Structure 1
Amino acid sequence: MKKQISLILAVLIMLSITAASCGGNSGGSAGDTTAAISDIQETEAPAETNQKDTVLKKDFGGAEYKILAAAEQWKSQVTAEEENGEILNDAVFMRDRNIEEDYNVDLEYEVINGYYAGKETVRTKLHGSVMAGDAAYDLFTGNTAYLCERILDGLFMNQAGLDPLDFERPWYYNNVNKNITVSGKLFVSSGGFNFSNESESWCTIFNKEMLDSFGLESPYDKVYDGSWIFDEFTRMGAVASSDIDGDGKFTKEDRFGILMTQTEPFYALPYGFGRLITVLDEDGIPRLTGADERNVGIFDKLGEFKKDKTLYYSCETNPKDELISKFSAGQGLFVLYPLRIVEIPEMRESVDFGILPLPKYDEIQDGYYTLCWAAVAAIPLVVKDVEKSAVILEALNCYSYVDVIPQYTEIVLQRKLSRDDESAGTVKLLAEGISMDFGTLFNASLEPVLVFAYDLCTPGKYSSWWAKNEIKIETNLAKILEAISQLN
C-alpha cells in the first residue's frame, strides 16, 4: 500500500510540475493536488468480506427445521449435541447454533445410524413424509451409495430450480454436482454440509524420511508441476521395494513401495486417472464413455500393476490397522487409502508423512481427481416451506465451509510434534478433486462392475468385456434416463 501511495504521489507531483512548466491553466492548483494527496492517504484497503454475510438471510420466526440423516456418527459428524472439547465436534455444534441465531430457526436432527443398516428405515420415513404428505422433514442427508433408488422413487425436489442455492459458490463440490445433473435437473447436491467427503476421498500418503533416504525427488513439486502421474508413482515405489529377509520372495515381512487394501484401490485409481463412466453431452444427457482408447489404456495399465507383487502389499487382516502398523514400521513408502486414516492418533503419531492426491494417468490429464462415495443433501418433494428448506441448506453448506472444514483440515495436518504445512496445498487439491458422475451414482441400476472394477484390471480384458456387455448397459442407461425424464 505504501508503495502504491508513493507511486501515486510521484505521478501527481509530476503532473503538477508538467502543468506549470507548460504554462497552461486547466483549473488545477497546488491546493487541488494537496486535496488529492489527502484523499489518497485516507483511503484504506477494503475489509475482507465474511462469506457467511454473502448468503441470503431470513428470519423464520423460530420455526423447526428437521433433518433426516443416514450416517455413522463416528465417521460422519453430521451434528453435535453439545461441546466436548474436540475440535470438529465443537465446530459443528457452533455452526448449528450460529445458523439458529442468524435465521431464527430450531435445527432438529433425526440420525439413522449406518449407511446400509438404516436403508429400509430411511426409505420408510421418506416415503411417509412425501407420499403421505406428512412433510415431516425439511432436508435429508446421506450417502450416494443407495440414494439412486430414492431418486427414481420421485422423493426429492429438483434443486437446480431453487434460487437460494448457488452451485457456483466455493462451498459446493462442483465435480460432483455438475456431473450428476441431468437435463438441468439436480435431485441431490453435495456441499460443505457434507464435509465427510473430505475424509472419504482417496489419497496417497508417503513416508518423508524414507523418501529422503532413497534420494527421491519431492512429490510435492511433481504435484504442482503436473507430473505426479502413475508411472512416477510406481517408479518411486519400486526403489523402496526390497526382499528384506532375503528369502527370495516378497511376503509381509518385506518392504514394499506401496501398502494398500486388497481390491478397493482398483476401484479408486481409475477415478484418480480422470476416468468417468458417463459424461454429459451438449444437451446435458449422460453418455457412456465405453471402451474408448483412454479407458482401455487405464485398465490395461492397472492390470500390469496388479500382477507385480514385488511392488505392492495388500493388507490381509484388519486393513486399517495393518496399514498403520506396517507404515509405522517402515515397511512401505506409500499408502493408498481414504484420507480418514490420518485422523487416527496412531497414524498421526507414526512416521513423518505427507499427503498427496492420487496420481494422474498422464501429464495430459487436466487435474487431480479422487473417488469419494459422496455424501449429499436432498430436499424432499413435499416440505412445509420450500424457501426455508433451500435457504437453510445454503447456510449449512456455507457455514460448514467457513467454520468446520478448516478445523477438519487442521486435524489432518497435525502430526506428533508439528504441523505438516507442506501438505496444506495438496489437501486443498484433494478436496477440489472430489468427483462423482451419473454412472457412478446409478451404478446399481446401470452395471456395478463399472465401479467395482477389480476383475477388469487385467491386460486385454476390458475391451472384450465391454463388447459383450455394451448393449445391456446402454439399455439400462436408457431406462434410467426415461424414469428421470418423468420426474418433476
Structure 2
Amino acid sequence: MYKNLLSIMLALLIIVSAFVSCGGEKGDQAPEITTTIETSPAETEDPEPDNLPEKDFGGYEFKLYCRSCCTSHKDGLWQAESTGDVVNDSVFDRNKKVEERFNCIIAEPLLSDGEDTSVITAALLAGDCMADVIIPHFRFLGDMVLKQLMYDLAKVDYLDFSRPWWNTMLIENYSIFGRSFVAYGTIDVDNITEAGCILFNKKLNTSYLPEENFYKSVKDGAWTIDKMNSVVHSFGADLDGDGNVTGDKDLFGLTGNSGYMFMYQVAMDQPTTRPNDDGEPELVINTPKMATIAEKMYDMAVAYEYSKVDNDTDSAIFIDSRSLFMTTKLSACINKSMRSMEDDYGILPLPKYDEAQTSYFSHGSAHSNMLGIAAIQPDIERTGIILEALTAEGYKMIKPAVYDVALKQKGARDDDSAEMIDIICATRTGDFADLYDEWGLVYTLDHMNRAKIDTFASFYAKNEKASIKRLSKAIDLFREMP
C-alpha cells in the first residue's frame, strides 16, 4: 500500500511540474501573488519648530477682535470652512491645526463698528476681557496702549520675537524702555500683503516709453524720486481734447489715494522720530531732506496736471489703462478687480531718495493688523501659547499661500515683479509716531497733498508743538508704566 501511495504522489508531482513548466509560456502566466506592506510616510522634521509646550486647553474658545472697515481683516484671520481658494483654505487649515494641537476653538472674530474702538475700550475699562487678542487699526491700538489697557508683550513667556514669524524691526521701532505693547507678525493675510508699492501699466510703458525699463532701474539702484518724477512728467494726455483734465476720460502719469503719500517719506528713509541716546524717540523730521521730499512730492503728485492723487481716487483709472503709475499696496494685486485687469501690469517698490540710499523701504504697518493683548488677560500663558502658535503656523501655512501662490503667481504678471515683491517684503519698517502722534507729522505728505501745501516749513511750524506734546505724553507714560 505504501508503494501504491508513493506511486500516486510521484505521478501527481510530475503532473504539477509539467503544468508549471507550461505556465511559463506567454499568455498563460499565472497571476503573481505579491504582499503589500503599508508604511506610513516618513514625518518631515519641521525646520522652524515653535518650541511651544504641549497643552490641553479643554475646548477653550480663543477670541480675536478686529475692525470691520474691510472684509480682508476678518477673512485673513478666520474662515468658516474650506472653499477651494488657496488663500482662504490656508487660513482655515492653520486654525484647525492650532485647534487640534491645543484642544481649543478659534472663534469667529468679534468686529468693531468700522474703525471705532469705543466698545472694546469701554469693556476693558469695566474689567471685561471680551477678546484675547485685539487687532484694531494700529493708530487706535496706540490710543489703547496710552490708556494702559494693553499687556507688555515683552513679559509674555511664549512670545519669541526673534523668530521669523515676527517682524523684529517693526516691533523694536514701536517699543521703548524695553516695553513692547504691540506686535506685528504673520498671524493673518493682511500682515503679508499690506506693504506699499507702485504698479505700472506695461502696455502703456511699451507703447509710449519703450526706452524705460523700470525693473532695471530698481535693480541698478537708480529707481529714485527724481527718476519717477521725470517719467511721470513725461506722460499724460487730454484724450478727449476738451481742454479739461478729468479722471473719467484722460490719460495720467500717476494716480492713487492721498492716504498713501506718507509711505513715500518712509521709502526715502526720512524718519519722523528716532531714539536719542537715552532711548527716547524724538522728532527728527525737520530736515532739509524732508523739505526737499515735500517739494518733489508736491511737484509730482499735486502740481502736475496729469497726476490725480486725492481722497476720492481709487484703482479704477489704472484698471481702465489710463494711468502709467498707481501708488497702492501689494494687497491690491490679489483683489478681484486687479486680477481681472486686461492689460499686464508690473510691481515696483516705492522710490529711494537718491542713488546713495543703500536700500529700498516700504511701510509695513499701513492698514495691516498690529496686535495687542488686554492687560486684564485672565490667563496670559494660554494667550501667549495660542498667539505664538497662530503666528508661527501663519508663517508656515498662510505666508506660502499668499506670498508664493497668490502674490507671485496670481498677482505678479512676470518674474521680475516676483523679484520686486521680495524686495518690498524684505524692507518693511515703521515709526514710533505711527502709533503715538495721532495723525500728526508722521502723515505730513498726506496732509500736504490734501491741502495742496507746497512748503514743508510752514506746515511743520503749525504742527510741531502738537506732535511734541503727543509724543512726550506717550514717552512719559511708557516711562511710568510698571
Q: TM-score range by the shorter chain?
A: 0.7 to 0.9
State the secondary structure of the residue aligned to 2:60.
Answer: strand
Q: Which moves more between the two structures, 386-395 or 340-349?
A: 340-349
1:217 to partner: Cα distance = 3.3
1:396 to partner: Cα distance = 1.4
Tell me the percent identity. 25
CA contact (8 A) 1:145 1:373 kept: no
Aligned to 1:332: 323
Residues 458-483 of structure 1 show CA distances to partners (whole Å, capped at 9, x for unaligned) of 67622233345434432332222112
1:227 to partner: Cα distance = 1.7
1:360 to partner: Cα distance = 1.6
2-structure distance, mates of 1:308, 1:198: 34
Alignment of 1:82-231 (within 5 A): 82-117=81-116, 119-128=117-126, 132=127, 135-213=129-207, 214-231=209-226
Task: Say yes or no: does 1:260 pair with 2:260.
Answer: no
CA contact (8 A) 1:301 1:459 kept: no
1:93 to partner: Cα distance = 0.8
CA contact (8 A) 2:271 2:285 kept: no
1-structure distance, mates of 2:458, 2:413: 49
Residues 299-328 of structure 1 show CA distances to partners (whole Å, capped at 9, x for unaligned) of 1221222443334134786x33xx33x334
CA contact (8 A) 2:238 2:251 kept: yes
Alignment of 1:8-47 (within 5 A): none
CA contact (8 A) 2:205 2:324 kept: yes
Task: Say yes or no: does 1:232 pair with 2:239.
Answer: no
1-structure distance, mates of 2:79, 2:350: 32
2-structure distance, mates of 1:358, 1:447: 20
Task: Say yes or no: does 1:60 pair with 2:56.
Answer: yes
State the secondary structure of the residue aligned to 2:250.
Answer: coil
Aligned to 1:80: 79
Q: Which amino acid aligns with 2:347?
A: I
Q: Which amino acid aligns with 1:337?
A: T
Structure 1 residues 277 and 457 mapped into 2: Cα distance closer, same or farther (>3 Å)?
farther
Task: Say yes or no: does 1:278 pair with 2:273.
Answer: yes
2-structure distance, mates of 1:392, 1:111: 17
1-structure distance, mates of 2:391, 2:96: 14
Alignment of 1:453-472 (within 5 A): 453-454=447-448, 461-472=455-466
1-structure distance, mates of 2:260, 2:129: 41
1:448 to partner: Cα distance = 7.2
Q: Name the TM-score, length of structure 2 as normaliser.
A: 0.81
1-structure distance, mates of 2:321, 2:442: 36
Structure 1 residues 364 and 392 mapped into 2: Cα distance closer, same or farther (>3 Å)?
farther
1:377 to partner: Cα distance = 1.7
Structure 1 residues 316 and 264 mapped into 2: Cα distance closer, same or farther (>3 Å)?
closer
Aligned to 1:304: 299
Q: Which moves more between the two structures, 362-371 or 292-301?
A: 362-371
CA contact (8 A) 1:258 1:313 kept: yes
Aligned to 2:392: 398
Residues 218-270 of structure 1 show CA distances to partners (whole Å, capped at 9, x for unaligned) of 22222233221111112223333233344555443322221223x22433322
1:442 to partner: Cα distance = 1.1
1:152 to partner: Cα distance = 1.2
Aligned to 1:20: none
Counterpart among 350, 354, 365 of residue 357 in structure 2: 365
Q: Which amino acid aligns with 1:440?
A: D
1-structure distance, mates of 2:237, 2:131: 57
CA contact (8 A) 1:266 1:457 kept: no
1:204 to partner: Cα distance = 0.4
Aligned to 1:347: 338
Residues 341-381 of structure 1 show CA distances to partners (whole Å, capped at 9, x for unaligned) of 22232321221111111112222333222331341121222
2-structure distance, mates of 1:264, 1:61: 43
1:414 to partner: Cα distance = 4.0
2-structure distance, mates of 1:61, 1:95: 17
Q: Which amino acid aligns with 2:71?
A: W
Unaligned segments of structure 2, at least 5 residues: 1-42
1:49 to partner: Cα distance = 5.7
Aligned to 1:24: none
1:95 to partner: Cα distance = 0.3
Unaligned segments of structure 1, at least 5 residues: 1-46
2-structure distance, mates of 1:163, 1:462: 45
CA contact (8 A) 1:304 1:459 kept: no
Structure 1 residues 238 and 467 mapped into 2: Cα distance closer, same or farther (>3 Å)?
closer
CA contact (8 A) 1:210 1:333 kept: yes
Q: Which amino acid aligns with 1:58?
A: E
Residues 365-418 of structure 1 show CA distances to partners (whole Å, capped at 9, x for unaligned) of 3322233134112122222322222122121111111111222232233459x9
The alignment's C-alpha RMSD in Å is 2.9
Structure 1 residues 111 and 420 mapped into 2: Cα distance closer, same or farther (>3 Å)?
farther
CA contact (8 A) 1:203 1:357 kept: yes
Structure 1 residues 135 and 126 mapped into 2: Cα distance closer, same or farther (>3 Å)?
closer
Aligned to 1:291: 286
- Highest CA radius of gyration, 1 or 2? 2
Aligned to 2:20: none
